[in-house]
Amino acid sequence: MSAPRTLYDKIFDDHVVDRQDDGTCLLYIDRHLVHEVTSPQAFEGLRLSGRKVRHPEKTLAVVDHNVSTSPERKFGIKNEESRIQVEALAKNARDFGVEYYSENDIRQGIVHIIGPEQGFTLPGMTIVCGDSHTSTHGAFGALAHGIGTSEVEHVLATQTLIQRKAKNMLVRVDGVLPEGVTAKDIILAIIGEIGTAGGTGYVIEYAGEAIRSLSMEGRMTICNMSIEGGARAGLIAADETTFAYVKDKPRAPKGAAWDAALGYWKTLQSDEGAHFDKVIVLDAAKLPPIVSWGSSPEDVVSVQGIVPNPADITDENKRTSKQRALDYMGLTPGTKITDIALDRVFIGSCTNGRIEDLRAVAKVVEGKTVSAHVDAMIVPGSGLVKEQAEAEGLDKIFLAAGFDWREPGCSMCLAMNDDRLKPHERCASTSNRNFEGRQGFKGRTHLVSPAMAAAAAIAGHFVDIRDWK
Ligand SMILES: CC(C)[C@H](C(=O)O)[C@@H](O)C(=O)O
Ligand code: SF4
C-alpha cells in the first residue's frame, strides 16, 4: 500500500508533468486567471517571441484593480495610467483569443470572486494568477498559487509552471464559533498566532469542525489570507458544501461529466495518518471579534483589548518595528480598541466582498445611520454580487443608512484607483492588508470582519459586535 498522502500531495502529484532529480517539477496548470496589473509584459513577451496562448479556453481575463467604482465609469477611465492598463488587457485578450470581462460586463469583478462564481474554479485543479491572493481558490480544494509576471508568460505559453514541492502544514480549528465571530476573525487569529512568516515554505490545509461549518464564502475568506501568513497556498478539502456551491455554475461540468468529476473530487481528502510538518490547533469557541492595530496583519488584538505597548517586547528589532507601526497608526499604548474613532469604513475586497458578507452588513445596519464623522462605502466584489444584493434589497438598506453603494472592483483595498484614504485618515476595512500606504499615502487601516466594520460605521468607533442591538 502506498504511504498516506495529504490533500496537497495528491493534487500536486496528479499534476506533475516532469520531475527532476533535484525535486524541481513541471506542473500542469488547469486554470489561469489574468488581470490587468501583472499581464501586460507577459502578453508582450508572447508577441515578441511569436507565441500563442497555449490554451485560451483555460484562461480568463478580467479588469479589477484599476477600474473606477463610480457609476460614471461607463464613460471611460479618467486616470491615464489606469486607462492604459485596462485598455491593454482588452486588446491582449482580443489579440490572443482569451475570454475577457470588461468593466461593463455583469460578470466583471475581482478576479478571485469571479473565478468561483463562474465555476471556472473547481476542486482538484491547479489554478494560478499573477496575484498573491490566488490562495482564495484553495477554498474549493484546489491548489491555487499566486505567480509573478514572467511565470504568467510561461503559463500563457505552455499551460505549465515550474514548482518545487512545499511542506505540509495543518491548521485545525475545533469547536463552534460564538455568535458574531466569523471566518475573518478565525484567519486574523491564525495569523496573529503564527505571524506573517509562520507559513513560509508551507501549503496550509485548514480543517476541523469550525472550518467544515463555514459556507464557501467563509472558506474563501480564510484561504484568501493564507498568503498574509506567509504560506504558498491554503486548502480546504471539498465536501457537500463545496459541491452544492459549484453545481450548475456556468462553467462547471454538467451531466455525466459532473458525476465523473464528483467521483474524483470525493477522493481529494488528506489520508488518515498523512504526515504534516507542522500542526496548529485553535479552539473556535474561545475566539473574539478581532481588530488589527498595526501595519502588519499579525498585529491583532481582541475588540475587548487595548493597543499593546511595544516597550513590553524584548526583541529589539521587533520592538522598534512595532513602535514604528504604532507611530504610523497614530495610536497610544493602552488605548481601548473600542475607544478608537474612525473616519472611513471600507466594506469589500476579495476577502469580504461576497454576498454573504453584504448580508451580514445589512443585518447590522438596517434601520440605523452611519455616524456623522464617518464616510462609509460598500463595494460589491462583482457585478453578480451587486445584482444579487440589489435583488434582495440590500442596496436600499445601505443607502438608507448613509453608505455609498459602488460598482465592483478592488476599490480601496489598495490605492490603485480613485478610492483612497487621505493622509492620517483612519479606516475600518474588511480587506486583507494594513501595510503602510496600502489604502492611500499615510492612510491608517484596521482590518476587521464585515459585521465589525458595519457596526463601527454606525457607532463611529469600534464596538464589540457581540453586544450589538
Ligand atoms: C496588484 C497585485 C499584483 C497585488 C497582489 O499580488 O496581491 C494586489 O492584488 C494586492 O492585493 O496587493
Ligand atoms: S481586492 Fe485587494 S487583495 Fe484582492 S486582488 Fe484586489 S487588490 Fe488584491
Domain range summary for the chain, segments of one domain joined by +: 7-164, 167-238+270-286, 290-467
Rounded Cα gap, residues 396 and 224, in angstroms: 29
Q: What is the pLDDT of residue 199?
A: 97
Q: How far is ligand 2, taken at its centre, from the CA of residue 257, in Å?
A: 33
- Mean residue pLDDT across the chain: 97
CA of 131 to the centre of ligand 1 (A): 5
41 confidence band (pLDDT: 50, 70, 90): very high
Q: If you measure from the C-alpha of residue 155 to the centroid of ligand 2, how many angstroms do you get, rounded to a whole number?
A: 21
Question: What residue numbers does the annotated binding site for [4Fe-4S] cluster cover?
Answer: 350, 410, 413
Q: How confident is the model at residue 76 (pLDDT cuts 50, 70, 90)?
A: confident
Amino acid at site 321: S
Nearest CA to ligand 1 atom 4: 131
- Ligand nearest to C-alpha 431: 2
How many other C-beta atoms can be found within 10 angstroms of the C-beta atom of residue 158? Answer: 16
Mean pLDDT of 337-343: 98
Half-sphere exposure of 33 (CA within 13 A, CB side): 36
Say how many Å lie between the CA of residue 151 and the centre of ligand 2. 19
Q: Rounded CA gap, 235 and 237, in Å?
A: 6
Task: Pick from 128, 133, 435 the residue to mutate for probing ligand 1's pocket: most ligand atoms within 8 Å of its CB.
Answer: 133
Q: Are strands 24-28 and 290-292 parallel, antiparallel or unpaired?
A: unpaired
pLDDT of residue 236: 98
Distance CA 120, CA 59 (A): 9
Fold of the 290-467 domain: Aconitase; domain 3 (3.30.499)
- Ligand 1: residue whose CA is nearest its atom 1: 37
How high is the ipTM of this complex? 0.99
Query: For residue 77, what pLDDT is reported?
Result: 87
Residues in contact with 261: Cβ distance below 8 Å, sequence separation at least 6, in sequence order: 122, 123, 253
Query: Using one digit for the tens of pLDDT, what is the confidence trace for 266-280?
Result: 999 999 999 999 999
Whether the per-residue pLDDT at 25 is higher than 90: the answer is yes
Q: Which of 36, 38, 63, 132 to mutate to test the pocket of ligand 1 (most atoms within 8 A of CB)?
A: 132
Question: Do the two domains 7-164 and 290-467 of this chain adopt the same fold?
Answer: yes
pLDDT of residue 307: 98
Out of 349, 412, 430, 439, give the residue to mutate to test ligand 2, the one with the largest number of ligand atoms within 8 Å of its CB: 349
Which ligand places an atom closest to the C-alpha of 114?
A: 2
Query: Burial, 425: exposed, middle or buried (Cβ in 10 Å; 0-12, 13-18, 19+)?
Result: middle
Which pLDDT score, from 0 to 100, does residue 327 have? Answer: 97
Residue nearest to atom 6 of ligand 2 (CA): 410
pLDDT of res. 75:
86
CA 121, CA 252: separation in Å to the nearest integer?
A: 8
pLDDT of residue 467 exceeding 90, the answer is: yes
Q: Which band of pLDDT confidence, cut at 50, 70 and 90, is reported for residue 78? A: confident
Indicate if ligand 2 lies below 6 Å from the C-beta of 410: yes
Residue 248 has pLDDT above 90, yes or no: yes
Q: In CATH, what is the architecture of 167-238+270-286?
A: 3-Layer(aba) Sandwich (3.40)
**Residue 253 φ then ψ, to 5°:** -60, 150
Look at residue 1 in the predicted model and tell me its pLDDT: 63
CA of 33 to the centre of ligand 2 (A): 13
Ligand closest to the CA atom of residue 64: 2
Q: What is the pLDDT of residue 469?
A: 86
Mean pLDDT in residue range 163-185: 98
CA of 65 to the centre of ligand 2 (A): 7
* Residues near 93 by beta carbon (within 8 Å), at least 6 away in sequence: 34, 61, 99, 100
Percent of the chain with pLDDT over 70: 100
Tell me the pLDDT band of 325, cut-offs 50, 70 and 90. very high
For 256-269, what is the mean pLDDT?
Answer: 98
110 lines ligand 2 (CB under 6 A): yes
pLDDT(330) > 70: yes
CATH architecture of 7-164: 2-Layer Sandwich (3.30)
The mean pLDDT value for 203-216 works out to 98
pLDDT of residue 143 exceeding 70, the answer is yes
Measured between its terminal Cα atoms, the distance across the chain in Å is 57
CA of 44 to the centre of ligand 2 (A): 24
pLDDT of residue 74: 85
